[in-house]
Amino acid sequence: MNFEFTKEQELVIQTAREFAETELKPIAAECDLKGTFPMDQYMQMSDMGLIGLPFSTQYGGAGGDYLSYILAVEEISKVDASVGISYSVQTSLCMGAINTYGTEAQKQKYLSALCSQRKIGSFGLTEPNAGTDASGVQTVAVKDGDHYVLNGQKCFITNSPIADIFVIFATIDRNLGTKGITAFIVEKEYEGVSIGKIEDKMGIRASQVGEIILKDCRVPAENMMGKEGRGFGIAMATLDGGRIGVAAQALGIAEGAIDETVKYMKERKQFGKPIYKFQYLAFRMADLKARVEQARYLVYKAAMDKQLGKPYAESAAIAKMVASDCAMYVTTHCVQMLGGYGFIKDYPVERMMRDSKITQIYEGTNEVQRMIISGAMFR
């Protein structure tokens, strides 16, 4: 087993860390407060090649390895988990699906635009009645000549209000269950695509999450990904990758909270000494650090499973479940360490605690992750 990063991976860590510290840190609190997305900074990430990091140079990507991309998500999320999830959804879910299931023409057109033409991607699976039970997709796709006509409504879709390109799941026949679900690439500019309610959220407030409304939206048949009725498998397999991104986001949040808390504990004096000199508090930090290290190796293991072409559904589920629980636990304790200062917006740990919560919920709740892990155990 090799526990060393490659030179390229070290460079990605350093580049993403410097970018996050200089470009995201100064604005993260304000974007959170106002619920605004740092578009200029996100476009810089595109220009720097971070967005297309794990994709082939043939499609405008940087040709990096998968672990490098996961390390970049982690670094960005240490400072700003909202940008972390926008990046992860675009890369793992939207671009990941097109890269794996798209035709050559779809990759040339859409993956290239997402890698190098500053386009933003989104992934529309969830609906009001298709959350944990993703098979309940009600959005319909009816074949009409060389087009499919899509009608339906997606909800809680990350990046939808700012996206140019959507991967949308619709059914060709509601009676077919998972066997009817089909994947399409849909452009924002297509007639019949609109964005409904934009959500006002507890955490990751700078990321833009909303409804996608499809009303008689005509999608060229050439934009179907895979075959009719194969979309559910595409969604599930793509989400396996997405969960590694969420796990990296959660890991980053936990690490960011520890960094901020250590800094505070060195500065904050009570009873005449910095509070880290109280062994009870220092030991609690040691426990938090140990939890983060446990999560780290699960996240990197899942990323390496994917990178090496091994099965990774189970390791991704474990990494996502453990890292998100770790983020929630660690940030809750970090807020406690800061006392009253942990509860106000002058320090970022308050935001980090709010941001952590969703990592236990999206891309499959942690209960779904347990279904996947136990399902594999008792197959």
| Among residues 147, 233, 274, 332, the one that binds ligand CAA under rule CB under 6 A | 233
Instruction: Tell me the H-state helices in the chain.
Output: 7-19, 25-34, 39-47, 66-79, 81-88, 96-101, 104-106, 112-116, 231-267, 279-307, 313-338, 349-359, 366-377
363 is catalytic: yes
Q: Give the shortest CB-160-to-ligand CAA separation in angstroms.
A: 9
Contact 274, 350 (CB under 8 A): no
Which part of the chain contacts ligand CAA (CB under 6 A), choosing from 23-31, 54-62, 143-151, 366-374? 366-374
* Contacts to ligand CAA from residues 42-101, by CB under 6 A: 85, 89
Q: Which of 262, 371, 373, 376 binds ligand CAA (CB under 6 A)?
A: 371
Determine the interface stretch with ligand CAA among 66-74, 105-113, 124-132, 335-343 (rule: CB under 6 A): 124-132
Given the residues 75, 293, 363, 367, the one annotated as active site: 363
Q: Which residues does 52 contact at the CB level (< 8 Å), separation at least 6?
A: 46, 59, 60, 61, 62, 95, 114, 115, 116
Nearest to 6 by CA among 77, 60, 92, 64: 64
Contacts of 109 (CB under 8 A, 6+ apart): none
Return d(Cα 306, Cα 211) in angstroms, integer: 31
158 binds ligand CAA (CB under 6 A): yes
- Decide: is 27 part of the binding site for ligand CAA (CB under 6 A): no
What is the size of the binding site for ligand CAA (CB under 6 A)? 25
Q: Give 3 or 378: the residue with its C-beta nearer to ligand CAA.
A: 378
> Do 194 and 180 contact (CB within 8 A), yes or no?
no
Q: Counting contacts by CB under 6 A, is residue 232 touching ligand CAA? A: yes
Residues acting as catalytic residues: 363
- The residues of the shown chain that bind ligand CAA, judged by CB under 6 A, are 85, 89, 123, 125-126, 132-135, 157-158, 178, 232-233, 236-237, 239-240, 313, 362-364, 368, 371-372
